[in-house]
């Protein structure tokens, strides 16, 4: 199968690309960084990838965090490079924000806050899903 | 058929099952496996079963539940690994909640 | 043609890996084309030749090796994940790496994902 064939295939199917669900808080594990690495590589191969933040994963987006205070290399800063990788669809679960008493104040722009049903529908628009 | 949800964690420990339920669609199916089998006795299961009389199918991997001495429910379908492989392709995508 | 790509994120000593292995073997036996298994996060530890699990316990690594031989199942480990877990990936004839596994980058995951009809994570 040539790469152009694959392109046609993915255009034909209703769902396409990869959805990555982030479910972990940013600093206590490598999950966020591992998910970020996958997202960036898909972006650099010009494959559609969208990011979903749910549960404690929403903490990855909150503004004014400073990983350096706990000696962690701040991978969250890389989120600002998403547009250079054509990663445009970034979704946050509204209920997860509400449950954690968080405002919609994020450290990157163009984040879409969605109610559970819409969050699920956005997820459904993708062919494959990985969750970290 | 749309999404196949593989639930591998106990809802008594983590929110993974609750997060799965929050995005669950009418056409989806759930497979309880590994410690996800413990969710058969979790309060979240009651609300799910109420929804399940619509179109959501709830499955459990038989030997995963049996190994853990979990009583199963009439509303839950017992499946084997070979059925899970089949479900993978009768649904459009698979999400693993672990 | 039904094609399947599998991502394994659990280490060889995790009982969760047994489920992944059983699933993959069942798929292969059912005639599904499994185009590759990508070992990410702690999954990369599978390629470590120095891992020794008590002989009366489940031998996940030996089972992956068997599937690799029996079905020519491609097993890819993520180089970044492997190196941060003490598996040196710098030379091809590295004695530290189990030869059933191929050292790959995340680009391989992109390749598998775009080719597969279904992607399943364990």
With respect to residue C105, please indicate whether it lies within any of the assigned structural domains. yes
**Does A6 score more than 90 pLDDT?**
no
Q: Global pTM?
A: 0.94
* Range A22-31 average pLDDT: 97
Determine whether the interchain pair C116/A128 forms a contact, defined as Cβ–Cβ distance below 8 Å. yes
For chain C, residues with pLDDT lower than 70 are 92-93
Q: What is the pLDDT of residue A13?
A: 47
Which residue segment(s) compose the domain that C98 sits in?
1-7+74-117
Nearest-angstrom CA–CA distance, B84 and B9: 17
CATH number given to A27-131: 3.40.1260.10
Domain B3-97 CATH superfamily: DsrEFH-like (3.40.1260.10)
Q: What is the pLDDT of residue C92?
A: 66
Q: What is the pLDDT of residue C113?
A: 97
With respect to residue C88, please indicate whether it lies within any of the assigned structural domains. yes
Give pLDDT tens digits for A68-109.
999 999 999 999 999 999 999 999 999 999 999 999 999 999
Determine whether the interchain pair C41/A1 forms a contact, defined as Cβ–Cβ distance below 8 Å. no
Measured between CB atoms, does A54 come within 8 Å of chain B? yes
How many distinct structural domains can be found in chain C? 1
Beta bridge partners of B77: B59
Nearest-angstrom CA–CA distance, A57 and B22: 15
- Supply the mean pLDDT for chain C: 95
With respect to residue C99, please indicate whether it lies within any of the assigned structural domains. yes
C76 membership: H or E segment, kind and range: strand C75-78
Give pLDDT tens digits for B12-61.
999 999 999 999 998 999 999 999 999 999 999 988 988 766 789 999 99
b/e map of A53-62 (b: 16 or more CB within 10 Å)?
Answer: bbbbbbbbbb
With respect to residue C87, please indicate whether it lies within any of the assigned structural domains. yes
Smallest CA–CA separation between C30 and chain B, in Å? 8
Catalytic residues of C, which ones?
78
- Contacts of residue A9, Cβ cutoff 8 Å, sequence gap at least 6: none
Cβ-Cβ contacts under 8 Å, A18 against chain C: 113, 119
């Amino acid at each position: 199968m040539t790469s152009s064939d694959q392109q046609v295939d993915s255009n034909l199917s209703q769902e396409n690309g990869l959805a990555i669900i982030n479910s972990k808080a940013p600093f206590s594990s490598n999950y966020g960084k591992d998910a970020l690495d996958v997202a960036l590589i898909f972006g650099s191969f010009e494959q559609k990838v969208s990011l979903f933040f749910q549960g404690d994963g929403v903490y990855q987006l909150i503004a004014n965090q400073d990983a350096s205070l706990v000696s962690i290399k701040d991978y969250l800063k890389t989120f600002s490079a998403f547009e250079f990788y054509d990663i445009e669809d970034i979704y946050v679960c509204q209920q997860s924000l509400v449950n954690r008493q968080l405002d919609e104040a994020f450290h990157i722009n163009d984040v879409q806050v969605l109610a559970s049903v819409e969050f699920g529908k956005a997820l459904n628009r993708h062919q494959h899903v990985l969750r970290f | 058929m749309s999404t196949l949800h593989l639930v591998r964690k106990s809802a008594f420990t983590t929110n993974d099952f609750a997060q799965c339920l929050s995005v669950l669609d009418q056409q989806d199916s759930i497979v309880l496996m590994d410690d996800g089998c413990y969710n058969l006795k979790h309060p979240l299961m009651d609300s799910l079963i109420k929804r399940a009389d619509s179109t959501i199918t709830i499955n459990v991997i038989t030997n995963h539940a049996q190994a853990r001495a979990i009583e199963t429910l009439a509303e839950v379908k017992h499946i084997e690994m070979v059925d899970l492989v089949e479900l993978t392709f009768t649904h459009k995508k698979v999400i693993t909640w672990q | 043609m039904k094609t399947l790509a599998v991502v394994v994120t659990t280490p060889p000593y995790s009982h969760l890996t047994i489920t992944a292995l059983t699933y993959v073997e069942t798929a292969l036996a059912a005639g599904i084309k499994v185009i590759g298994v990508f070992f990410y996060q702690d999954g990369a530890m599978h390629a470590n030749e120095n891992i020794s699990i008590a002989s009366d316990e489940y031998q996940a690594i030996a089972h992956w090796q068997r599937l690799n031989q029996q079905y020519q199942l491609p097993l890819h480990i993520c180089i970044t994940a492997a190196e941060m877990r003490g598996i040196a990936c710098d030379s091809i004839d590295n004695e530290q790496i189990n030869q059933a596994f191929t050292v790959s980058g995340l680009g391989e995951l992109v390749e598998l994902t775009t080719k597969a009809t279904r992607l399943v994570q364990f």
